[in-house]
Structure 1
Amino acid sequence: MIGEHVIVGYTNAPGGRDALALAAAITRVTGGELTVATIYPPGSPGLAVEAQANLAHAAEELGSIPAGYLTYESRGTGRGLSVLASRIRADLIVVGSAEGGRHGRITIGATSNHLLHLSSEAVMLVPAQYVPVDGPGRLTLAYVHRPQCDEAVERMAQAALALGIPLRLITLDLRTDDPGKLRDDLALAVRLAWETTGIEAESEVAEGHDVAAALADVEWLPGELLVCAASEDAQPHRVFLGELAMKALRASPCPVIVLPRGFA
């Protein structure tokens, strides 16, 4: 299950603090290991010192919560986090929303953009000013009938069962497809979840003229997590989001987890 070792990209800024709080909340639930990392560019001794100061601030924020702390020199924060995650065998990278975005929504910056196209680990993005609750309330998987999503149905059903929370499968109807086929595909996915784990997944077709309108018409519980599978265009064991999933990510009112292709 995701969350056995979480690495969070930390900066002493609102997005960094949001990511740190959620990463700590995840490891409290999973009992996993937490690593806090700050990336700084090469050839910048002053920024290296600042990175250490950032980690000291993160330690103050976490208090008694156990965590490891790393600084790492890299030409890009996303690249550095991805390399570090592989080295320490983290299974989830958590990053906050870029500055200047809308409250309660995810704004993609250079770091998250890199991770969403090249990370070999699952990536979680946190909406601006998101406040974690005691535990996850429900897993919602954005479902499209394709192999990547079918694999994700099985994995998320297992995760929901382990966490003791509901699983919901949601399909977007943007009034461009056959509604009957969408519902039939969703019913097959619900059956797949039942056959593999015995969990009774909820299902919902969200309708709207665009992705944002469809997601706005859906109820979101406190502690909800939205899960997206990588595009079929992704390289094996890499994250890559398609256009529709990217729009869903930007419109989501809750944290979003993006799974690499072939996630196991």
Structure 2
Amino acid sequence: MIGEHVIVGYSSDPGGREALALGATITQVTGGELTVATIYPPGSPGLAVEAQANLAHAAEELGPAPAEYITYESRGAGRGLSVLASRIRADLIVVGSTDGGQHGRIAIGSTSNHLLHLSSEAVMVAPAQYAPSDGPGRLTLAYVHRPQCDAAVERMAQAALRLGVTLRLITFDLRTEDQVKLRDDLALAVRLAWESTGIEAESEVAEGHDVAAAMADVEWLPGELLVCAASEDAQPHRVFLGELAMKMLRASPCPVTVLPRGFS
């Protein structure tokens, strides 16, 4: 299950603080390790000192919560976080939305964009002005009938069982697909969750003329986490979001996790 070792990409802006709050919440629930990292460019002694100061602020915000604090030199924050995550064997990278994002929605910046297309680890993005809850209220998996999603059904069913929360499988009807087939595929996914873990997953079809309308068509609980599988176009063991999933992420009112292809 993801969350055994979480690395947070921290900066002194609101997105960095929201990522820190989300990462801390995840590790509190999973009992995993927490690493807080600030990336700075090479050949910049002043920015290296500033990165250390940022981590001191992060430590103040976390208080007594156990965490490791690391500054890391890299030409790009996204690349730096990905390399560092691999080196310390983190299984989840948490980042925040870029400045200026709509309240309660995810705004993609250069760091998250890099991670969502190249990371070897799962990536979680916090919405703008994210406020932590007591823990996950429900896991929702965006489902499309394809191998990556079928594998994710089993993994998320195991995670829901371990966390003691409900699993919801949701598929999108954008009025361009065969509705009967969509519901049949969803029923098979519910059966897969049951056969692999004994969990009775909820299922729901989100309807709308576009992704944003479909996302608004369903209820989102406090503490909800939305999970997406990587695109079939992703390289093995890499994250890569397709066009539909990217639209879903931008319209999500809750944190979104993207799994790398072949996640286990």
- Say yes or no: does 1:253 pair with 2:250: no
- Say yes or no: does 1:101 pair with 2:101: yes
Q: Distance in 2 between matches of 1:189 and 1:240?
A: 22
Q: Distance in 1 between matches of 2:28 and 2:230?
A: 27
Instruction: Specify the code of the residue in structure 1 equivalent to 2:243.
Output: E
Once the 2 structures are TM-superposed, how far is the Cα of residue 101 of structure 1 from its aligned partner? Answer: 1.2
For 1:240, the equivalent position in structure 2 comes to 240
Q: Distance in 2 between matches of 1:45 and 1:85?
A: 23
- Say yes or no: does 1:87 pair with 2:87: yes
For 1:226, the equivalent position in structure 2 comes to 226
SS of 1:141's equivalent in the other structure is strand
SS of 1:78's equivalent in the other structure is helix
Instruction: Specify the code of the residue in structure 2 equivalent to 1:184.
Output: D
Structure 1 stretches (4+) deviating beyond 2 angstroms?
none
SS of 2:184's equivalent in the other structure is helix
What is the correspondence of 1:97-246 to structure 2 with a 5 Å cutoff?
Answer: 97-246=97-246
Q: Distance in 1 between matches of 2:147 and 2:225?
A: 21
Instruction: Specify the code of the residue in structure 1 equivalent to 2:249.
Output: L
For 2:66, the equivalent position in structure 1 comes to 66
List per-residue Cα deviations over 1:20-39 (Å, max 9, x = no partner): 00100110110000000000
For 2:9, the equivalent position in structure 1 comes to 9
Instruction: Specify the code of the residue in structure 2 equivalent to 1:76.
Output: G
List per-residue Cα deviations over 1:42-95 (Å, max 9, x = no partner): 110000000000000000000000000000000000000000000000000000
Q: Distance in 1 between matches of 2:49 and 2:79?
A: 20
SS of 1:127's equivalent in the other structure is coil
Once the 2 structures are TM-superposed, how far is the Cα of residue 40 of structure 1 from its aligned partner? Answer: 0.2
Once the 2 structures are TM-superposed, how far is the Cα of residue 132 of structure 1 from its aligned partner? Answer: 1.0
Q: Distance in 2 between matches of 1:131 and 1:103?
A: 11
List per-residue Cα deviations over 1:84-119 (Å, max 9, x = no partner): 000000000000000111110000000000000000
- Say yes or no: does 1:49 pair with 2:44: no
Instruction: Specify the code of the residue in structure 1 equivalent to 2:160.
Output: A
Question: Unpaired segments of 5 or more residues in structure 2?
Answer: none
SS of 2:21's equivalent in the other structure is helix
SS of 2:65's equivalent in the other structure is coil
Q: Distance in 2 between matches of 1:245 and 1:160?
A: 22
Question: Unpaired segments of 5 or more residues in structure 1?
Answer: none
Q: Distance in 2 between matches of 1:199 and 1:33?
A: 27
- Say yes or no: does 1:78 pair with 2:59: no
For 1:22, the equivalent position in structure 2 comes to 22
Instruction: Specify the code of the residue in structure 2 equivalent to 1:128.
Output: A
Q: Distance in 1 between matches of 2:135 and 2:58?
A: 21
Q: Distance in 2 between matches of 1:227 and 1:26?
A: 14
- Say yes or no: does 1:38 pair with 2:30: no
How large is the RMSD of aligned CA atoms in angstroms? Answer: 0.3
